[in-house]
Chain A
Amino acid sequence: EAQVTQNPRYLITVTGKKLTVTCSQNMNHEYMSWYRQDPGLGLRQIYYSMNVEVTDKGDVPEGYKVSRKEKRNFPLILESPSPNQTSLYFCASRPGQVYGYTFGSGTRLTVV
């Protein structure tokens, strides 16, 4: 089944403890993105990648890191999480520039 797989689905962590949210797609898509969803703000792009080793900042990149060493994987790293990073996170991929995104099932992150 063609899909974007995110893990974990839920995560509660403490301030300052490094964490990684994994994202993997099995569709050979070039484009991948990370979004965060907050009430009243819609989805905002954190980082995106147009291909292996090509990543760039989105609208809200502060406090996050990404890497794209393989086409299928695009992990999101929070080096020192803070409570304002409590949010619902989505990874998404698409085959090319003019296509719609396929989204993962989301990661609900709570930082206390």
Chain B
Amino acid sequence: AQTVTQSQPEMSVQEAETVTLSCTYDTSENNYYLFWYKQPPSRQMILVIRQEAYKQQNATENRFSVNFQKAAKSFSLKISDSQLGDTAMYFCAFMKLSGTYKYIFGTGTRLKVLA
């Protein structure tokens, strides 16, 4: 069975600085997708970024980028030039490309951006 681990329950970063959130996963699958979702205090879940496992190039979305290390089963999220609006809970998710295409979510990292 697949598992997703986010080992940092809480983090903080100064405004305008860079922060990296870690995510590791365990799977025997070769084809899968990985996601980062953001949940601000409004509790709306927002898709931040998506990575296909077959792509070696790391996904980037404006100030958000990932460091995908397939062999190490690691999928960290880097937030550059942190803004107060980045304060949120961040969830990492894994989806295998077979069967039910089910998502497995991590337990989340609460990020606070300090002014």
Contacts and interface: CB of A to CB of B under 8 A. Distances in A.
Interface of A: 31, 33, 35, 40-45, 48, 50, 56, 58, 88, 90, 92, 97-98, 100-103, 105-106
B103 A56 contact: no
A105 to B, nearest CB: 6
Contacts of B44: 103, 105-106
Contacts, number: 48
Nearest to B48: A100
Nearest to A9: B43
Contacts of A103: 44-46
Which of A50, A90, A98: most chain B Cβ within 10 A?
Answer: A98
A106 B47 contact: no
13 contacts: A40-B107, A42-B4, A42-B91, A42-B105, A58-B102, A88-B43, A97-B97, A101-B47, A103-B44, A105-B42, A105-B44, A106-B43, A106-B45
Nearest to A108: B43
B100 A90 contact: no
Contacts of A98: 33, 52, 95, 97, 101
Which of B35, B43, B45, B46: most chain A Cβ within 10 A?
Answer: B45
Contacts of B78: none
Interface residues of B, number: 22
B100 A100 contact: no
A88 B42 CA distance: 13
B47 A56 contact: no
Contacts of A97: 97, 101
A48 B91 contact: no
A100 B45 CA distance: 11
Interface string B68-99: 00000000000000000000000100010100
A97 B31 CA distance: 13
A43 B91 CA distance: 9
B33 to A, nearest CB: 6
Nearest to B98: A97
Contacts of A56: 100
Which of B91, B95, B97: most chain A Cβ within 10 A?
Answer: B95
